[in-house]
Amino acid sequence: MGAIILATGISTDKAVKSSVEHAVIAAKQCIAAAQIKAEDIALIINNGIYRERNIVEPAIALFIQKELGINPDFVKDNNGKDAFGLDLMNGGMGALNAMKVADSFLQSDSVRYVLIVGGDSHPSNNNPSDFPYTTAGSAMLLGKNVDPKCGFQGFAFKSEKFEGQGRLSYIEFKNVGSDGRNRITIKTAPGYAPAALKLAGATARSYIANHKLTPAKLHLISSQLDSHFAKALAKDIGVSEASTVDLFGQYGDTHSATFGVGYHQLQKKGLTKPGTEILFVGAAAGLDSGVVHYVC
């Protein structure tokens, strides 16, 4: 028996520019909604990619852990509880990888709660117009499931090669001079979003067939690479438009925060009642895709 989603939180205020701040706001909301003690969270996975000042050490998850006060000093806290934070990086797919990791930790009885946070900010925190992502944050708290019919029902991942890896981002040290803390180069290959859509659709269709799912019963929460992505994917795999979470119009591409934002929106609409079936479908640069069936 694996994990269930206990609560979510989101942070979408445009006045907030920092990915850490967004993640912390979302996580506080999430922990409050779950009505648990922060100290009972033992694993914090940050799947955000873009971070202020291009900090590469330590993990951004640790700044979030500190702000949330989750067992920041094992000795001084003196409660016998510890926590571990890490950054898991796989573009817009990282949250799905993190869900699988969290599911395994909970199945192996290693931890009581896992907090997954996501969110991206331009390193300069100025969010220039050519930054393709919306700066936002989401948090998802996972706990142990007691009913095998509920929770995550098995993950599938599939990758492909693609020209220019679809989207490639890097600090171009030869061209940034002493402004490396504020600069990021993001190159998107022609045809990236349609190719990612095609791969995600194929992976999802195969998953639906293998798991004998009925598309008409599913709600779809997917990556939102552009304004067409969610609806086109739903059509490809047979999920109705009414059951598709379309975030792009409201938020744009929230990238690593997308799955948390999507689940939060379904929950707010009262669509996560027991027995509700959700299909999470991710697509990311590489190319990479992933699917998991979740039963509320």
Partner 1 sequence: MKSRFESIGVYLPKTITSMTDRIASMVNPPPFDLTAITGIQEVRTADKDDDSYTMALAAARDCLSRSQYKPEDIDVIIIGSITRFTGGGEVRNYTFEPPLSHSIKFALGAPQAMHFDVSNACAGMFTGILLLDRMIRAGTVRNGLVISGDFITPITETAVKEIVGAADPQFGSMTVGDSGAAVIIDRAIDDADCINYFEIMSCAEYSHLCLGMPSEKSEGMALYTINAEMHKKDRIQLWPRFQLDYYKKNGGDIVSEKFDHILHHQVGSRAISNFSKYGSEIFEAELPKSSLSGVELYGNTATTAHMVVLYHALKDKKIKKGEKVLIVPAASGVITGFLSATFSNLKV
CB atoms under 10 Å from CB of 238, counted, come to: 15
Stretch that binds partner 1, among 29-37, 135-143, 218-226, 284-292 (CB under 8 A): 284-292
State the minimum distance, in angstroms, from the CB of residue 139 to partner 1. 16
Q: Does 257 bind partner 1 (CB under 8 A)?
A: no
Residue 246 or 288: the one with the smaller Cβ distance to partner 1 is 288
Q: From CA 46, how far away is CA 86, in angstroms rounded?
A: 6
The reply on whether position 130 binds partner 1 by CB under 8 A is: no
Task: Report the distance separating Cα 283 and Cα 296, nearest Å.
Answer: 23
Q: Judged by CB, which is closer to partner 1: 62, or 234?
A: 62
Q: How many residues bind partner 1 (CB under 8 A)?
A: 72
Does the footprint of partner 1 cover residue 74 (CB under 8 A)? yes
Decide: helix, strand or coil at residue 211. coil
At closest approach, how far in Å is the CB of 62 from partner 1? 4
Is residue 62 within the footprint of partner 1 (CB under 8 A)? yes
Select the residue interacting with partner 1 from 6, 19, 99, 100 (CB under 8 A). 100
Q: How many CB atoms lie within 10 A of CB 35?
A: 8
Tell me: does residue 179 bind partner 1 (CB under 8 A).
Answer: yes
| 30: phi then psi, degrees, rounded to nearest 5 | -65, -45
Query: Of 72-80, 140-148, 223-231, 236-244, which segment contacts partner 1 by CB under 8 A?
Result: 72-80
Q: Residue 105's closest CA among 58, 155, 44?
A: 44
Toward partner 1, which CB reaches closer, 94 or 118? 94
Residue from 10, 21, 34, 87 touching partner 1 (CB under 8 A): that is: 87
Among 13, 37, 56, 217, binds partner 1 (CB under 8 A): 56
Task: Report if residue 84 touches partner 1, rule: CB under 8 A.
Answer: yes
Please tell me whether residue 166 binds partner 1 under the rule CB under 8 A.
yes
**Dihedral (CA of 280, 245, 271, 35) sign:** positive
Token pair in block for residue 97: 């990888």
Beta partners for residue 288, in sequence order: 159, 284
Stretch of 9-17, 81-89, 201-209, 241-249 contacting partner 1, by CB under 8 A:
81-89
Q: Does 159 bind partner 1 (CB under 8 A)?
A: yes
Residue 101 backbone class (left: φ over 0; alpha: ψ -120 to 50; beta: rest): alpha
CB 138 within 8 A of CB 117: yes
- The verdict on 224 binding partner 1 (CB under 8 A) reads no
Residues 6 or more apart from 233 whose CB is under 8 A from it? 197, 200, 201, 204, 220, 222, 244, 281
- Smallest separation, CB 89 to partner 1 (Å): 4
Give the one residue of 17, 104, 252, 267 binding partner 1; rule: CB under 8 A. 104
Please state, in angstroms and rounded to a whole number, the distance separating the CA atoms of residues 134 and 119: 9
